[in-house]
């Protein structure tokens, strides 16, 4: 079986999206009725976005290393001030840093800021993990092949004229 690289290269792809029910977040969805379950729409990540998510893990490690180095000099007040400045009151696990980045990138509706993702992880960890697990699943499934794009609206040309002019 041979891979058709030309057909693959010309194919149109669309990232997968899915609604995730978030019943326990009902109070924060405007206009949601009591019997209605709100949904959070997420999508799969591209290769570039997945790389940014993985870099969030490295950035998290670098922040912690700086904080540890400063605290080794017994400069506790400065260390605490730097922790607040870079947004880490304590050591953040790498997995959590990745998932926060993932949710901010892949939230379709509602959009999700870094601050909201952190708060969601703290206040509703089960929903936070359900959302990021769904993003991971959709990313793993890859994009969906869409309808191929036509190069133009015109029909194929006929064979060239045999006249010399």
- Could you report the per-residue pLDDT of 109-126, keeping only the tens digit for each? 999 999 999 999 999 999
The CATH class that applies to domain 14-27+38-142 reads alpha beta
Contact indicator for 128, 8 with CB cutoff of 8 Å: no
Mean pLDDT of 92-106: 90
pLDDT confidence band for 95 (50 / 70 / 90): confident
Q: Given 3-state DSSP classes, what are the helix, strand and coil percentages for the chain, each rounded to the nearest 5?
A: 55, 10, 35
Residue 56, φ and ψ in degrees, nearest 5: -60, -35
> Rg of the chain's alpha carbons, rounded to an integer?
24
Whole-number mean pLDDT of the chain? 80
Residue 142, Cβ density class (10 Å: 0-12 exposed, 13-18 middle, ≥19 buried): exposed
pTM of the entire structure? 0.70
Residues with Cβ within 8 Å of 42's Cβ and at least 6 positions away in sequence, in order, are 17, 18, 20, 103, 106, 107, 108, 131, 134, 135, 138
59-73: per-residue pLDDT in tens?
766 665 555 555 555
Q: In what order do the strands lie in the sheet with 17-21?
A: 17-21, 39-43, 107-109
pLDDT digits (tens, 9 = 90+) for 21-48: 999 999 899 888 888 899 999 999 999 9
Residue spans of the domains in the chain: they are: 14-27+38-142
Of the pLDDT bands very low, low, confident and very high (cuts 50, 70, 90), residue 154 is very low
Angle between helices 125-141 and 94-106 (to 10 degrees): 70
Q: What is the dihedral of CA 137, 140, 146, 149, to 10 degrees?
A: 140
């Amino acid at each position: 079986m041979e891979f058709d690289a030309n057909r693959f290269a010309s194919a149109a792809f669309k990232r997968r999206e899915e609604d995730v029910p978030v019943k326990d977040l009902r109070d924060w969805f405007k206009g949601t009725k009591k019997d209605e379950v709100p949904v959070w729409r997420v999508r799969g990540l591209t290769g570039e976005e997945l790389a940014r998510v993985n870099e969030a893990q490295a950035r998290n490690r670098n922040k912690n290393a700086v904080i540890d180095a400063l605290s080794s000099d017994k400069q506790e007040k400065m260390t605490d001030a730097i922790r607040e400045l870079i947004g880490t009151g304590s050591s953040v696990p790498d997995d959590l840093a990745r998932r926060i980045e993932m949710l901010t990138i892949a939230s379709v509706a509602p959009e999700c800021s870094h601050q909201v993702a952190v708060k969601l992880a703290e206040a509703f960890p089960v929903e936070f993990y359900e959302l990021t697990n769904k993003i991971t699943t959709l990313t793993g499934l890859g994009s969906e092949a869409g309808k191929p794009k036509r190069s133009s609206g015109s029909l194929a040309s006929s064979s060239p004229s045999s006249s010399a002019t």
